[in-house]
Amino acid sequence: MTLELRELNGGDLEQLLTIFAKLDIIDELTAIFEHPENLSLEGADVEKTGISVFAKLAKKAITNIKPIKKELDELLASLSGLTVEEINKVRLLDYLNGVKAIFADGRITDFFGSMRS
C-alpha cells in the first residue's frame, strides 16, 4: 500500500521538533539557514541545495530510526489518515518512502528558513 500523505501543517510542528531533537539535528539545521553564505544559493541551485540538505536529513532519520520510531509512526499516521497499527503493517518500502516524503516537504525548508529572519 503506497502511503498518500497530506501536506505538513502547523499541527505537525511538535512531532517534527521532537524527531529533530531526538536526532540531535536542530542546531545543525538552524546553522545551515543562519549562515546561507555557506550554501550555493544561485537560481536552480537553491532547489538542489534544499533537496540535498533534506535528503541527508531523511537518511539520518532512517539510519537512526530506533529512537524516533514511535514519533515517526505517529506522524505518518497523522499525515496518512491511518492508525499507528496500520502504519506498522505497510510494506517496508512504502514506510521508508513515507519517511523520505516527510523530509522532502518544502514546508520544512520554509520553517527553518524563517528562523534566520
Q: pLDDT tens digits for 12-64?
A: 989 988 988 888 877 776 776 666 665 555 555 655 666 677 777 778 877 88
Instruction: Tell me what pLDDT residue 26 has.
Output: 72
Distance CA 74, CA 111 (A): 20
Q: C-alpha 47: how far from its chain's center?
A: 16
Q: pLDDT tens digits for 64-94?
A: 888 999 999 999 999 999 999 999 999 999 9
Contact criterion met (CB below 8 Å) for 8 and 107: yes
Question: pTM value?
Answer: 0.73
| Coil, helix or strand at residue 100 | helix
Distance CA 32, CA 68 (A): 23
